[in-house]
Amino acid sequence: MGNHYPVIIIGGGQAGLSMSYCLKERGIHHLIFEKHQIGYAWQAKRWDSFCLVTPNWQCQLPGYPYPGDDPQGFMQKDDIVNYVKAYAASFDPPIHEGVEVLKLSKREAQDGFHVATTIGDYTADQVVAAAGSYHTPKIPRLAERLPDSMVQLHSSEYKTPQSLPDRVLVVGTGQSGCQIAEDLHLAGKQVHLCVGGAPRSPRRYRDKDVVDWFDQMGYYDLSVEDHPQKEKVRTKANHYVTGRDGGREIDLRQFALEGMRLYGRVKAVRAQTLEFCDDLKHNLDQADAVAESIKKTIDGFIEKHQINAPLDPPYHPVWQPEQEVLELDCGSLDAVVWCTGYQSDFRWIDVPVFDGKGYPGHERGVTTVWGFYFLGLPWLHTWGSGRFSGIARDANYLADYIVARKKSSPSNAWSVVNEFLLGS
């Protein structure tokens, strides 16, 4: 029984650590398995100039709010790593670092779960999968058709502008794509940017950071079930904006004025030629429309609540594509950075909780399999579920749920669950 635990947490990032804190607070014996080390993803999978895009005050891990003296600033990579490590040190979680979970399955003859790891087999009454959903870098197959001489890497491998040659194509304009394109651009590289359909956000509007307005408007308390786009909000690209140099807006049109070359989406590679879709203007206009919609929503809130806030001048596009470039000779490029996101990889979970697309079925992290939970997924419950800002709410909810279920067995679990839900 030495390898049996009431709860096993898989993943030792901010989600797994938050879960551990909440369980420890409730006196629940548990164990965490972390494939790498605490803070690994922040350290190894981000570029050197990476920083948060939300203000520091939103770092609200359970029992450990942002401890610094710049709540409206934006922590850089090393500070983020130190924040996560300091959080772990503050409560000494029972974590095994450098241990990979190879398979999670239901126990055949008994209740609970079997957890096969690189250091042996374990069992648990309940399990929390807190390994996130960004597992495997996603690169389109057309990358295989680019010349062998061209340097290719995923955004998770990019570190510094100096690590790449002079002429770089950045594919994708989500948060990573826009920030990496800016990083290369500021370093004097000739940047070619494929502009996709990601929306953009203002950084500041009417004398406040937009995040402050959203917080005041209650957006971060909105559950996925109440979201007007609940059917697709979990798969939508994040708005691009940056916390660099104290935080600012990203306007790709301004980059174009400064010499960055913009294209539509990548369409194909044929005979050493990159082909692009004829959608650059549409994508730029759509991104602007989202930013303007955000401003109008804030305007309405200000008017409704009669808030005294200075007006901002109206936005005017500073650049328009006169004629879209639809082809580019591969000889004009030295490198490509694929900022095309990640795929989830839950193949190690042999528990029947997934839908036809491989997404775990759950209600606020609680699956239909007794004692099995997910934590840290984007929009698991709210916008902040996969972030420093909202993980405490989700971890506390699941910890209370685990306590309630610990008092029961699967045979009479629903009565206890209903009691918990009625009392929450």
214-249 pLDDT, tens digit per residue, is: 999 999 999 989 888 877 788 787 899 999 999 999
Domain boundary among 283, 317, 338: 338
Average pLDDT score over residue span 85-89: 98
Residues 58 and 94 in one domain: yes
Average pLDDT score over residue span 202-223: 96
Q: Given a cut of 50, is residue 414 above it in pLDDT?
A: no
Q: Given a cut of 90, is residue 407 above it in pLDDT?
A: no
Residues 257 and 176 in one domain: yes
Residues 310 and 190 in one domain: yes
Q: Given a cut of 70, is residue 157 above it in pLDDT?
A: yes
pLDDT digits (tens, 9 = 90+) for 342-351: 999 999 999 9
Residues 229 and 314 in one domain: yes
Position with higher pLDDT, 235 vs 90: 90
Residues 89 and 155 in one domain: no
Position with higher pLDDT, 263 vs 135: 263
Residues 251 and 348 in one domain: no
Domain boundary among 338, 353, 368: 338
Q: Given a cut of 80, is residue 412 above it in pLDDT?
A: no
Predicted confidence at residue 187, as pLDDT, reads 98
pLDDT digits (tens, 9 = 90+) for 301-315: 999 999 999 999 999
Read off the pLDDT band of 116 (50, 70, 90): very high
Q: Given a cut of 70, is residue 319 above it in pLDDT?
A: yes
Pick from 90-94, 169-173, 384-388, 396-400: least confident: 384-388
Residues 245 and 329 in one domain: yes
Q: How far is CA 309 from CA 219, 294, 305, 314, in A?
A: 19, 16, 11, 15
User: Residue 12's domain spans which residues?
Assistant: 4-135+344-423
Average pLDDT score over residue span 26-35: 98
- CATH code at position 397: 3.50.50.60
Angle between helices 77-91 and 14-25 (to 10 degrees): 20
Q: Given a cut of 80, is residue 121 above it in pLDDT?
A: yes
Q: What share of the chain has pLDDT > 70, as a percent?
A: 96
Domain boundary among 279, 307, 338: 338
Predicted confidence at residue 358, as pLDDT, reads 86
Token pair in block for residue 413: 């679990």
Predicted confidence at residue 409, as pLDDT, reads 57
Decide: 170 and 193 in contact? Cβ < 8 Å. yes
Q: Per the structure, how many domains does the chain have?
A: 2
Q: Given a cut of 60, is residue 60 above it in pLDDT?
A: yes
Residues 62 and 122 in one domain: yes
Query: β-strand 204-205 against 208-209: which pairing, if any?
Result: antiparallel
Residues 94 and 57 in one domain: yes
Decide: 21 and 395 in contact? Cβ < 8 Å. yes
Q: Look over the chain and give the mean of its residue pLDDT values, rounded to a whole number.
A: 93
Average pLDDT score over residue span 377-394: 93
Predicted confidence at residue 411, as pLDDT, reads 46
Residues 382 and 272 in one domain: no
Q: Given a cut of 70, is residue 45 above it in pLDDT?
A: yes
Decide: 420 and 404 in contact? Cβ < 8 Å. yes
Q: What share of the chain has pLDDT > 90, as a percent?
A: 86
Residues 127 and 146 in one domain: no
Predicted confidence at residue 232, as pLDDT, reads 79
Surface-to-core class of residue 424, CB atoms within 10 Å of its CB (0-12 exposed, 13-18 middle, 19+ buried): exposed
Q: Given a cut of 50, is residue 413 above it in pLDDT?
A: no
Average pLDDT score over residue span 399-403: 97
Angle between helices 210-217 and 280-304 (to 10 degrees): 50
Q: Detail the DSSP E strand segments found in 141-281.
A: 151-154, 167-171, 190-194, 204-205, 208-209, 261-263, 266-270, 273-276
Pick from 5-19, 105-119, 186-200: least confident: 105-119
Read off the pLDDT band of 356 (50, 70, 90): confident
Q: What is the DSSP string of 244-276?
A: GGG-B---HHHHHHTT-EEE--EEEEETTEEEE
Predicted confidence at residue 15, as pLDDT, reads 97
Predicted confidence at residue 410, as pLDDT, reads 57
Decide: 337 and 155 in contact? Cβ < 8 Å. yes
Predicted confidence at residue 217, as pLDDT, reads 96
Residues 402 and 317 in one domain: no
